Structures are given as structure tokens and as C-alpha cells.
A and B are shown apart, each in its own frame.
Chain A
Amino acid sequence: NAGVTQTPKFQVLKTGQSMTLQCAQDMNHNSMYWYRQDPGMGLRLIYYSASEGTTDKGEVPNGYNVSRLNKREFSLRLESAAPSQTSVYFCATNVGLADGETQYFGPGTRLLVL
């Protein structure tokens, strides 16, 4: 089992370009999350999907959109990238049936916006 996979691993964009970060899980989990991690800021929740067919905003959703394509896949889209979106992006999942569940993280996507 691959667990949680993310593509691409690295990306360089110019300001104004768009891109989609992909996340897939083979753990049959209901809930999926997108976080960004910046130095000294910890992980901040961008969007999450409690179950297939639902998505909700997290702490820092501006400038992003998401799609829960099916139970396995949750993508994050930057429509018009800005330098402030330079960060490391992590996808995470959990079973999604109760509070306090462990989260399982992907390896991350490192994004540089010039």
C-alpha cells in the first residue's frame, strides 16, 4: 500500500500561473485535508473534505480551490499563483468517523512562486 501520495514533488511557477496539486490515498479513508507549512508558522489548514462529495474551507482558503474527485483523490488548485503561496503543501487523511483520529500525511509538494 502506498498510503498517501502527492504529485508533483517540486514545482516552480511564475506569478499568475495556475497549477493543480494532486493527492491520492489507498487507505479507504473518508476525510482528506490540505495543509501548507511555512517556517515558524506550523501547518495551517487550507481546505478539507469530510467525506466524498463535500468540501469546506479551513483557516487559510483564499487563493485556493479544491475538488474531491472521488473517495481516493483530493486536488488543490491555485488559479493565479502569488509569491505568498510559496510553501510546502501537505495532503493528509483520516478515517473520518470520530474526533481525535490520527492523521496520515503525504510526502509534500514544494512550491516556489517567482
Chain B
Amino acid sequence: SQKIEQNSEALNIQEGKTATLTCNYTNYSPAYLQWYRQDPGRGPVFLLLIRENEKEKRKERLKVTFDTTLKQSLFHITASQPADSATYLCALDMNTGRRALTFGSGTRLQVQP
């Protein structure tokens, strides 16, 4: 079956370091992948989209890579800040025929001051 995997364990890092989160998927080839941020008690907010023909995408301190051979996306936050603490979700179009995303369960990032 088609599956999206994100590390369920929280990632704890020191302020100023680079946080790297992983999204792995199996059994299909998405045309694009999206990353969202979710704060406690709130809905997810879109951060970045990367397409299958793009290896890397950047936005300010954020960088996303997309390796269709490994079936993996990496999400990097450089010079991390305590305000970056949140849960980060990856999402893909699983080619189900619906224009709807399938979300991973998310990884919680905690940046210590």
C-alpha cells in the first residue's frame, strides 16, 4: 500500500543549528511534494512546494530537497530559532484521482534557546 513516513520522535536541537526533517514515501511517484507547519491548536500552514523535476527549493531559511530515486524529501531549517518550534508535515498527491493531498503524521521540532 502507499505510505508516507515521517519520524514520529520529536527532534530537539539547539538554537542556531540546522534542523533536518525527513519524509519518506513508498510505492508511487508523486509529481510534487509539499511541506506544512502546524502549531499546537491550529491548522497546518503551507511552507514550500517542490516538483519532481526540481532537486532543491529554497525560501529564506528553509530548504527542501526531493530525491525521486530514494523516494525521500529532506526539509532543512538553517539558523534555527525557538520560534521554529512546531510540527512539520509533508504532503503528497498520491495519484488517487482526487485533487487531495495525503499527509504524513508529522515530526515535532523543538528548538532550545
Contacts and interface: CB of A to CB of B under 8 A. Distances in A.
Interface in B38-93: 41-46, 49, 51, 89, 91, 93
A102 B99 contact: no
Chain B: interface size category: 20 to 34
Nearest to B32: A100
A58 B100 CA distance: 9
Interface in A6-59: 31, 33, 35, 40-45, 48, 50, 56, 58-59
Interface of A: 4, 31, 33, 35, 40-45, 48, 50, 56, 58-59, 90, 92, 94, 96, 98-108
25 contacts: A31-B99, A33-B100, A42-B4, A42-B103, A42-B106, A45-B102, A50-B98, A56-B98, A58-B98, A90-B44, A96-B99, A99-B31, A100-B32, A100-B34, A100-B49, A100-B51, A102-B34, A103-B91, A103-B101, A105-B43, A106-B43, A107-B41, A107-B42, A107-B43, A108-B43
